[in-house]
Amino acid sequence: MASPVPIVDYLVLEDPGDGGVPKRAAHLVANECVACGARYFDRRNACANAECGGQEFTRVPIATTGEVKAFTIVAFAAPGIPVPFVAALVDCEGTSVRGNLINVEPDPDHVALGMKVRLTTYGLGADSEGTEAVGFGFEPISN
């Protein structure tokens, strides 16, 4: 079986280390400006902070737990995208991450501002050689 491949380059799939089927433990990494500490998930040539403009970045791990700061329940999407789903902005110890909430009913009775969530991964499908694409989302942390 081929190794799973993350759908974005800032999703790091951790090796379970036991040679078995990966449980897909994962974390996110951001590019952090050395000069001001601003964090970005996309590639940068220069910091977007107007007061900074730094050009040096280091990759830093992002917390795997966080709190929902904003969300919307998406009812209409492109053909082939199952709806409804919850798109959210999650504060992971000071770093804002956009991602979908999964493993939760997509309605206001089950999603709330301040909800505690954790990073999780899920399979998106496999190619003809069996290589699985892996995405990420956030799921509620049970109290």
DSSP state string for 42-85: S--SS---TTT----EEEEEE-SEEEEEEEEEE---STT--S-E
Please check whether residue 101 is in contact with residue 136, taking contact to mean a CB–CB distance below 8 angstroms: no
- Terminal C-alpha separation, the chain: 36
For the whole model, what pTM was predicted? Answer: 0.87
pLDDT > 60? residue 62: yes
Number of domains in the chain: 1
User: What's residue 53's pLDDT?
Assistant: 85
pLDDT digits (tens, 9 = 90+) for 15-59: 655 554 445 689 999 999 999 999 999 988 999 988 998 999 999
pLDDT digits (tens, 9 = 90+) for 109-125: 999 999 999 999 998 88
Domain of 12, in residue numbers: 5-140
Q: How far apart are CA 13 and CA 73, in angstroms?
A: 28
